[in-house]
Amino acid sequence: MGILLLSSCAVRSVYVPTSQDILLFDDKKQVQANAYVGSSQVELQLAHNPVKHLALRTNIDYGAGIATYEGGLGTYGYNNNMKWRWELQAGAGRTNNISYLSSPAVNWFKHGNYNYETIGLYNKYYAQPAFGFFSKIDMYKINYAFIFSLRASYNDFKKFVYHEIDADSTALVKTNVYKVNREYTNKSMFIFEPCITNKVGVRNIYAVLQAQVIMPYSKQIDIRYTKFSPVFIFSAGIQYNFVFKTKSVPKA
């Protein structure tokens, strides 16, 4: 499966959101390979169901100042006609994220004239249930699906840094005097990411639309300085599923 990010309201933050890999396998053994391209990073995903009701997945997110590695497993099921499908994934990952932003585009999302830098080094532990409806329009041979998922993660920040620097003052940059200085070590944050996904396709090729919300919560970290409280992410792309052929058994 390949997904290309076309539009997003997200800005670079301490926490780096990854796209939700919605598997929802049916009764066929298959491999799903994802390529997700954003404005500052490339995300590669690989998933497989080696046996029925068991799913394995891995994820690598890499870009300028970003390195994320995740892995997980899960279980899934469906009703008799496979129109309704569900799954539950769980996994863990690690992210290294360092960014200094001074682009004029950032002014679309901020008040005042300042630059900021973020550093986020954290481990993530997540659970992600998903539930979807699958059907087709026989006349046009079109398949479609509507899926709701919710990723809930516990993020253990080994290092969390947010600095704001007055863009009009070179003295502040030289002396490292910040308008806002937030630094935390060994603090935690919970993040909830509800997501709606729509797929429309023919055979094994689908167009994908996805809308995702990031909702952070923490008693130990001031989330006002995370740059994503809250944020909406919209994406569109394509999907391809590689399905293993089963050998037919000759009738006696």
> How many alpha carbons lie under 13 Å from residue 17 in its C-beta half-sphere?
35
Does residue 249 sit within a domain? no
Enumerate the β-bridge partners of residue 229. none
- Which domain range does residue 231 map to? 3-243
Residue 20 tokens, joined: 């939700």
235 or 186: whose pLDDT is higher? Answer: 186
- DSSP secondary structure letter of residue 88: E
Does residue 248 sit within a domain? no
Nearest-angstrom CA–CA distance, 191 and 21: 17
Share above pLDDT 70 across residues of the chain, in percent, rounded to a whole number: 82
In this predicted structure, the answer to whether residue 194 has a pLDDT above a threshold of 90 is: yes
In this predicted structure, the answer to whether residue 103 has a pLDDT above a threshold of 80 is: no
Q: What is the mean pLDDT of the chain?
A: 83
Which of 175-179, 184-188, 201-205 is the least confident region?
Answer: 175-179
Does residue 176 sit within a domain? yes
75 or 173: whose pLDDT is higher? Answer: 75
Does residue 250 sit within a domain? no
101 or 27: whose pLDDT is higher? Answer: 27
Residue 100 tokens, joined: 């200094």
| Whole-angstrom Cα Rg for the chain | 21
Q: What is the pTM of this model?
A: 0.83
Name the H helices within the chain. Answer: 170-175
Nearest-angstrom CA–CA distance, 191 and 120: 14
Residue 85: band (very low, low, confident or very high) from pLDDT cuts 50, 70, 90: very high
Query: How many residues appear in the chain?
Result: 252
Does residue 53 sit within a domain? yes
**pLDDT tens-place string over residues 119-168:** 999 999 999 999 999 999 988 889 999 999 999 999 999 999 998 877 66
**pLDDT tens-place string over residues 1-55:** 434 444 344 567 889 888 888 899 999 999 888 777 766 778 888 899 999 999 9
**pLDDT tens-place string over residues 63-83:** 888 999 999 999 999 999 999
User: Based on the structure, what is the number of domains in the chain?
Assistant: 1
Question: Is the separation of the CB atoms in 121 and 159 below 8 Å?
Answer: yes
pLDDT for residue 247 = 61
> How many alpha carbons lie under 13 Å from residue 165 in its C-beta half-sphere?
18
Burial class (CB in 10 A: 0-12, 13-18, 19+), 173: middle
Question: Is the separation of the CB atoms in 160 and 221 below 8 Å?
Answer: yes
